[in-house]
Structures are given as C-alpha cells and as structure tokens.
A and B are shown apart, each in its own frame.
Chain A
C-alpha cells in the first residue's frame, strides 16, 4: 500500500485566497483525521470522519475551515478565505476499526499564507 497520500506537499498563497488540501487514506481504513501542526500549538486535531461521516469537528478553528469526505478514498480540507495565521503543516491520518487505534499519517501539506 502507498500509505496516506496528501496533496499538494507545499502551498503558498496570498491572504484571502481559497485553499484546498487533499487526502487519500489507506484503503480499507474507515477513520480519517485532519490535524494541524505549528511550533506554538503542536499537533491539533481539527476534525475526524468515520465511514465518511464527520464525527467531531470541535477542533475546527472557525467557519473559514470546512472538511468533506465524499467517499471512502478521498477527503478535502478547505480554508476560505485564508489568513496568515493559518500557516502551518496540515496532516491527514487514517486508521482501521480493529486493533490498537494506531493512526497512519500522511507526509503533510506545508501551507504558507502571505
């Protein structure tokens, strides 16, 4: 398996622009998590899905952030409009139902908002 795939790996945009981050989880995994990592706040959970349904979005900072999972193999995290304080590395992770709840992380998308 190729592991969790994220795109783009790097994104530089200007304040006010819309940003869309993409994630393909590991095949067969039915949980998908979106995290944000910064030096100041560490790794923070934004939202997670189970069987394509959003379960907990309490970590989403504000209405400018939205996430979707239209099918089991694809999810997006959208920021509209983007702000400089959104600059961070965004990780997607997935895991299966059984076992030890191990999460498998993608390589991340480094977002810079100018």
Chain B
C-alpha cells in the first residue's frame, strides 16, 4: 500500500524566509498529491493539488512541485509570516478509488 512520509520534526524559520516542506511517497506514483493546512483544534484545510504530469503549481505565496523520479513533492511558502505557522499535511490520491492517503504532517513555526 502507498505510504506518505513527511518530516515529523518541526521546521523553525525566520519571518520573511522561504519555508520548504518535503513529502515522499514510497510505492506507485499517485495520480495527484494534495497539500492541506491544519491549525490546532481544527480540521485540515485544502491548499493545493498537483497532478502527476505537472512539475509545478503556484498559488499566491505557495508553490508545489512534483518529481516522479525522486518520488517527492516539495511545498514552498515564500516570504513566510508568523500566520503561516501550522501543520502541513501531504496526501496522495487518484489511484485507490476515492480515498486519500495522508502523511503524518510537518509542523511549521515562523518566528517574527
């Protein structure tokens, strides 16, 4: 079965810098990867989707890449702000019916 791996250690960066989070999948290449943001005490909120045949997707200060050779997606937040502090979840989908497989998430802390 598919496994989605994210760095479980928190990422601490200074405000204004670019945050880069990593998502690795272990088996087959998913049809797409999704990124969600989760704040404490709340449910995940969808941010971006990137398909297998897309190398890069952007939305405002967010950028996602998909490298099928490395079996990896990178999630970038440019000009980071303290309000970007949250846990970011990567999820694979499109292959196993209508289900998503989530990674464990990476907590991002942006310090002023």
Instruction: List the interface of chain A (C-beta within 8 A of B).
Output: 4, 31, 33, 42-45, 48, 50, 55-56, 91, 93, 95, 100-108
A-B contact count (CB 8 A): 53
Do A101 and B44 have beta carbons less than 8 Å apart? no
B99 at the interface (CB under 8 A from A): yes
* Choice from B97, B99, B103 contacting A42 with Cβ under 8 Å: B103
B102 & A56 in contact (Cβ 8 Å cutoff)? no
User: Is B104 a contact of A42 with CB atoms below 8 Å?
Assistant: yes
21 residue pairs of the A-B complex, CB under 8 angstroms, read A4-B43, A31-B98, A42-B105, A43-B44, A44-B102, A45-B100, A48-B98, A48-B99, A55-B97, A55-B98, A91-B43, A93-B43, A100-B49, A101-B34, A102-B34, A102-B46, A103-B44, A103-B46, A107-B41, A107-B43, A108-B43
Count of interface residues, chain B, beta-carbon cutoff 8 Å: 21
B10 at the interface (CB under 8 A from A): no
Q: Enumerate chain B interface residues (CB-CB to A < 8 A).
A: 32, 34, 41-46, 49, 89, 93-94, 97-105
Cα distance, A65 to B45, chains bound together (Å): 26
Chain A interface main SS type? strand
Distance of A23 Cα from B102 Cα, bound (Å): 21
B-side contacts of A108, CB under 8 Å: 41-43
Q: Are A56 and B45 in contact (CB under 8 A)?
A: no
CA distance A55 to B44 in the complex (A): 23
Chain A residues near B45 (CB, 8 Å)? 105
